[in-house]
Chain A
Amino acid sequence: MKNRGFLLLILVLILQPVAAQAQQEDFKPEDMTTFIIQVPHGVEGNGLAVGNSTLSAYLFFESYYDGDMNVTVEFDLPKGFVLHEASVHSFSLQTEYDDWYRLVDFYIPADTPCGIYNITAKAVVDVKGKKHTIVRTTQLKIASKKEVANEVSVSQPIVPSDEDGHGDPSHPLNTLVVQETSPALKKLLKVTDLKIEKEDLTSTYMGIKIENTGNSTIPVIVTYDILDTKTGEHVKAFKPDIMGMNADTLCYAAVTLSPGSSSLISLPIYISQDAMGGDYLLRVKVKLTGSDWIAIAKNQKITAISRRWGPIITTFTASLLGLTALGFFLSRPREIMDRFKTRNLVMIALFGTVSFAAINLPMTILWELSHAIFGPFSFLFTGLFNEILLYMLIASLVVLIPKPGVISLFMMVRFLLGGFITGSFTPITFITLSVNAVILELLLYIAGVTGKNTALDNRFRMGILCGFADMFSSYVSFSVWMVLYRLFYSDWYIAANILIDGFLYTFIGTWFGISLGNRLKKVAE
């Protein structure tokens, strides 16, 4: 029995290394590992490049073996290619599904002859002292620039497009709408919970169809520039910084084109708040991955429509206000007019005549003349008539007839008189005068200047009220000019007009107007 046990022990001792040897011999490198090489990175199969490129080769090794292995990968490049780092990499993999990868940068000199080059990666796998060699070879075609340019083609960019690059017929072709705010982007930010400091970015997309007619897989990077048509300079407003990043880092697409394939890509276009409307040149650039050389550049004229919603909404609201006021008046003219004595009506008409003779008539010539001579500072001169003189008349008329509606009637006479004599029946005159009348009437009535218990002595208060009313009217007037007549004004010009003409001159005019009104009251009595 003892002998049997002893023999069994010897048998076990003999068989264990044999079994272990048998297990080791079961390791099949091709089945129990994955070894991949891509040149350039992302290209499955044979790649394509041009001279003077810096490419990244992708090496990947994965183990399916449940045990330790030591691997040495050697990357072998054709003669003339310049490797930027060590060609040999060693690493250990401990468990099943353990992996290793590396991007290996190398440079292809400009004078590299065109042709097909073999790039080899060799992995030596050491499993329990036994070494296995795996070799992978890929081909890289070095093509001439002309050849690449012939093999890749791009369609005209579709602007704007949807997120997939398809043309969107609900928007005019080659047109970008520059808006104050983009409801779409706001919605997008809300959904993605992102926060962009510059909230007023408009976004849209452009679609580009790119095609590879050659026999090699071509990795390309597609990007674009929006240029000034005259100077050819980049317009930063169309590629603004987003979340602290340059828009170039977001506005590109990396595409790997298989032989004979085509791909529709979309690129985002970001438009900042300070983008101006006008004509631009959109230049789509296709670069071969690893090279700064632009294989294809496609130009497309695009138009940016600048639409500021503030003045549009102001104009719409002001028009509505003016029409409502007119409608209110025309719906009950008798009731309104009966509140005024015949003497009041005659006085308003005569004040209207004076305002026309002293303001409208001289200003018909002087307004344009001063604009032509003084340019942007003409308002300092024209304000003497349009604001000081006008508000002297208005304030003195209110002192003489402190009733609600007197200013509206005065404005109405001015409008109709101006229309009949100088032909100034314009929507701008109508909207501006009606808004001015409504605001003045409201403010003066609320402040108790017009009404039953009139308080006309406080020059300061009336000056302030008229000043505010005219500031508002001035802003409306500028908005209406910009929207209806498509004119441009700088912000500083509008602000200066509103403050100096709108408030200061009006205040002065009202101040003197009350004194004038009090003097005229004595004449009337």
Chain B
Amino acid sequence: MIGARSIAEPTIKDTVIHRMDPRAKILILISIVFVAVSLDNQKTMFLLFLTVLSGFVLAKMPAIKIKTLVILLVLLIWGTIYSQALFYSQLPRTVIFTIIRPEFPILGWLTGGGLFVYEEGFHHGAVQGLRSASILSLGLLMCWTTDSRDMLNGLVGLRVPYSVAFMVITAVRFLPIIITEVATVITVQRLRGFNPKKFGSGIIKTLLNILTPTLANCVRRTGTLAVSIQSRAFRANPDRTSLKKLEFSNTDKIVVTVCVFTAISVVIMKLIYNMYTSGIYYTSGLRPVYAIAGGYL
């Protein structure tokens, strides 16, 4: 549990990435997500993935987080590869392994003619896995390099209502406590003879037995916490002041501008290209756009 906490909590250092304004990080993340979702070209997608990974080098992330990232990426990409190898529905496709034969009773019918592992699906899954991997890596980079208080300020700075930001920060603050509490409840369950690692009923019983006492404690805390917060004039005035004033640096401005501009351009170009390929709209004046979108995006 302590390991899980250290993985979840940000590592505060003084690097280019850490110094970035949290609002800039959120805007960059949103922009890159749009780019990643729009891209289809394998090389460009791989380039984007490498660019995101280079952020971890710049941020000088500790080994445990890099290990966590690698494990998550391997599982994520493998999961995508495996699912796509099974459900790949393009041609050509080559069956390399049969999981359920079409003539297998019930399951053969249920799966609409058997279940196969396709060679081309592996390749497609690997490419598509990069998309999710880029988004996940950037999200992790952002949350591992930003203090939760700064994140709250960033959210408020981006006009997220203070009450919502407050709820999130309350949740973040309580996370280690809840995790510790869950660990305690699991220990108690073990002492009572439950085996949480036992697959099947063991997991279900453990989950149910953890949930009730944990939630009961949460509900009890709610009253105390609410009184404490209200006594500190929470929601007393519509406008709030902040101890730390966020300010965009010149680098932040440039990076955000580049990212937002790139995202808008990529999305618009892909939209135009998709309208062309679908026969919805075509004009000869947009040929360079079609060429770029078809060849590089």
Contacts and interface: CB of A to CB of B under 8 A. Distances in A.
Nearest to A409: B167
A305 B274 CA distance: 11
Interface stretch (A19-27, A30-38, A188-196, A419-427): A419-427
A352 B167 CA distance: 9
B174 A421 contact: no
B94 A230 contact: yes
Interface centre among A305, A364, A376, A425 (most CB of B within 10 A): A425
B225 interface: yes
A129 B40 CA distance: 84
Contacts of B215: 351, 354, 393, 396, 516, 520
Contacts of B89: 276-277, 306, 488, 490
A235 to B, nearest CB: 7
Contacts of A230: 92, 94
A419 B167 contact: no
B201 to A, nearest CB: 11
A251 interface: no
Interface string B172-186: 101100110010000
Interface in A272-299: 276-280
A452 B164 CA distance: 24
A342 B229 contact: yes
5 contacts: A354-B218, A358-B214, A413-B168, A417-B171, A486-B128
Interface string B189-227: 000000000000001100110111011101111110110
A229 B92 CA distance: 6
Q: Is the interface of B mostly helix, strand, loop or mixed?
A: helix
Interface centre among A364, A424, A496 (most CB of B within 10 A): A364
B122 interface: no
A346 B148 CA distance: 17
Nearest to B75: A368
Contact of B174 (A353, A486, A496): A353
A255 interface: no
Interface centre among B93, B144, B148 (most CB of A within 10 A): B93
Interface stretch (A115-123, A261-269, A329-337): A329-337
Contacts of A368: 72, 75-76, 78-79
B88 interface: yes
B151 interface: yes
Interface of A: 169-172, 175, 177, 179, 228-231, 235, 276-280, 304-307, 329-330, 333-334, 337, 341-343, 345-354, 356-358, 361, 364-365, 367-369, 371-372, 375-376, 384-385, 389, 392-393, 396, 400, 409, 412-413, 416-417, 419-427, 484-493, 496, 512, 516, 519-520, 523-524
B167 A413 contact: yes
Contacts of A484: 37
A384 B203 contact: yes
Contact of A330 (B90, B131, B136, B159): B159
B136 to A, nearest CB: 6
B79 to A, nearest CB: 4
B153 interface: no
Given A345-B163, A372-B75, A421 B143 contact: yes
A300 to B, nearest CB: 16
Given A228-B91, A416-B168, A357 B175 contact: yes
Interface residues of B, number: 97
Interface stretch (B13-21, B109-117, B241-249, B250-258): B109-117
Nearest to B238: A334
Interface centre among A276, A367, A487, A490 (most CB of B within 10 A): A487
A46 to B, nearest CB: 45
A-B CB proximity, top 7 nearest: A423-B139, A368-B75, A170-B282, A278-B90, A333-B161, A371-B79, A278-B91
A423 B142 contact: yes
B278 A489 contact: no
Given A276-B91, A368-B72, A372-B78, A421 B222 contact: no
B40 A486 contact: yes
Interface of B: 4, 8, 29-30, 33-34, 37, 40, 71-72, 75-76, 78-80, 82-84, 86-94, 99, 110-112, 115, 121, 124, 128, 131-132, 135-144, 146, 148, 151, 155, 159, 161, 163-164, 166-168, 170-172, 174-175, 178-179, 182, 203-204, 207-208, 210-212, 214-216, 218-223, 225-226, 229-230, 234-235, 238, 276-279, 282, 284, 290, 294
A376 B83 contact: yes
A228 B91 CA distance: 7
A342 B167 contact: no
A350 B182 contact: no
A467 B67 CA distance: 38
A423 B138 contact: yes
A376 B115 contact: yes
B170 A346 contact: yes
A400 to B, nearest CB: 7
A346 B178 contact: no
Nearest to B167: A349
B91 to A, nearest CB: 4
